[in-house]
Copies of this chain bind each other. A is one copy, B any other.
Amino acid sequence: MAPFARHVFVCGNARADDHPRGSCDPSGEGALHKAFKQAVADHGLQRTVRANKSGCLDQCEKGPSVVVYPDNVWYGRVSEADVNEIVDEHIIGGRPVQRLLMPE
């Protein structure tokens, strides 16, 4: 079975403020994850799209990190202001947001 058409994982890792690798969610409040959940709900996509918080995705220097499966599309430096564009263009439209793609 594959219960979701698209499955978004939002890194929720929080490290100490002075850690050299930085943190995807320094406050630990999960605001970016909550923004994805809200956008999914706003579009009525709860039955086919899931947004989950995850542990460290190990791309800390390029974060805040988000990955969309099964597409295997990775986004970096994602902010709450980017969430609607990712949902509209990629999750709904099937076109990954080029400007946010994580660099190699």
Contact = CB atoms under 8 A, between A and B. Distances in A.
A37 to B, nearest CB: 10
Interface stretch (A20-28, A51-59, A81-89): A51-59
Interface string A33-46: 10000000000000
Contact of A54 (B2, B53, B59, B70): B53
Size category of the A interface is 20 to 34
A2 B72 contact: yes
Contact of A74 (B3, B54, B59, B72): B3
A53 B1 CA distance: 20
A93 interface: no
A69 B7 contact: yes
Interface of A: 1-3, 7, 9, 33, 50, 52-59, 67, 69-72, 74, 101-104
